[in-house]
Amino acid sequence: MVNIKPLSIEETNRALKRKRIRSIIFKHASRVFVFIMLALVYAPLVYISIYSFTDSKVMGEWGETGFTAYTNLFAESEGLELLGAARNTAIVAVVSTIIAVVLGTLGAIGIFYSRHKLWKNTLQFMNQIPIVNAEIVTAFSLLVFFVQILNMQTSFLTLIAGHVILALPYVVLSVLPKLEQMDPSLYEAAMDLGATQTRALFKVVIPDIMPGILSGTLLSITLSLDDFVITAFTKPANIVVMGEEEPFQTISTLIDEKIKRGSVPLEIRPFTAIMFGLILLVMIGMYVKSVLDAKKERKLLKGEK
């Protein structure tokens, strides 16, 4: 039998003091780490935003203060070219997101209601492969498939297909957990009450998994907006707009092409600042809405009007 000697009051106090010191050090170290990470993320954006208010063409050199860069963005040819690339990027993101969300939601429902466990597990495993696979491998495979196997030229259609393939697995992964949380008796009850399978799907299943669908939509849009590799491999060289052929660029490919020529173009700075400001406003609005919704829910729980 092992005899355990009890600690004295002084030893207990010293142990508690060491524990408090370790806790304080860990807390402050965690805060410093968070601040460093936030600085690494936001410092370049703030830096570019500050230099969007000068007409100097070289980053780091301050010229005349003003809104020359913002004026050029909406007036000069390079600025209009950047806005055209933003338009193309938005169109690709919206179209590919709609297709990916519809196919991903239907795919997730099909996987969830699959009766064969082996087939279900196989589909879930295959859905995760594009996520862990290197994007360059996916992009090159798509290029070979379209050009060599299907004998197609890269076009707007191949670009949309590439973005759909990029976002589809994330939509499936966003919807599946909501399906697993759903009460299966609701769908069966709707069928027992005379609803068809299609009506039960749209009246019971879809509303119940809508948070997962919205999460998949946001992920799909985000992936499409900032994608470069798949876009560079699958985009068309030119596109016809109002009867005239012009080079097709998205924001990522256009900025990459311009940066290769030299320093960051003047028009990119205000464009980056505007995008950063809009996203910041959206995030603040979402945070305020979540806070107000939480307060409203607490009031309802307390029985207040």
Residue 204 contacts residue 187 (beta carbons within 8 Å): yes
Q: What is the DSSP letter of 148?
A: I
Do the bridges between strand 244-247 and strand 238-241 make them parallel or antiparallel, or are there none, so unpaired?
antiparallel
- pLDDT of 32 > 80? The answer is yes
pTM: 0.78
d(CA 228, CA 226): 6
How big is the chain, counted in residues?
305
Q: Which residue in 194, 63, 58, 172 sits closest to 126, CA to CA?
A: 172
> What was the pLDDT predicted at 50?
87
Task: For residue 117, give both structure tokens.
Answer: 């466990």
d(CA 91, CA 251): 12
> What was the pLDDT predicted at 171?
94
pLDDT tens digits, residue range 274-293?
A: 888 888 888 888 888 888 88
> What was the pLDDT predicted at 224?
92
pLDDT tens digits, residue range 165-223?
A: 999 999 999 999 998 888 777 777 887 788 787 888 888 888 888 989 999 998 999 89
Which alpha helices (H) appear in 182-267, and where do they start and end?
184-192, 197-200, 206-208, 210-225, 229-234, 251-261
Residue 120 contacts residue 176 (beta carbons within 8 Å): no
Q: Please, which residues bridge with residue 34 across strands?
A: none
Q: Which residue in 269, 271, 278 sits closest to 48, CA to CA?
A: 269
> What was the pLDDT predicted at 15?
78
pLDDT tens digits, residue range 127-177?
A: 888 888 888 999 999 999 998 888 888 888 999 999 999 999 999 999 999
Helix (H, G, I), strand (E, B) or coil at 150: coil
How far is Cα of residue 83 from the mean position of the Cα atoms in its chain?
21
Burial of 195 (0-12, 13-18, 19+ CB in 10 A): middle
Residue 167 contacts residue 223 (beta carbons within 8 Å): yes
> What was the pLDDT predicted at 161?
93
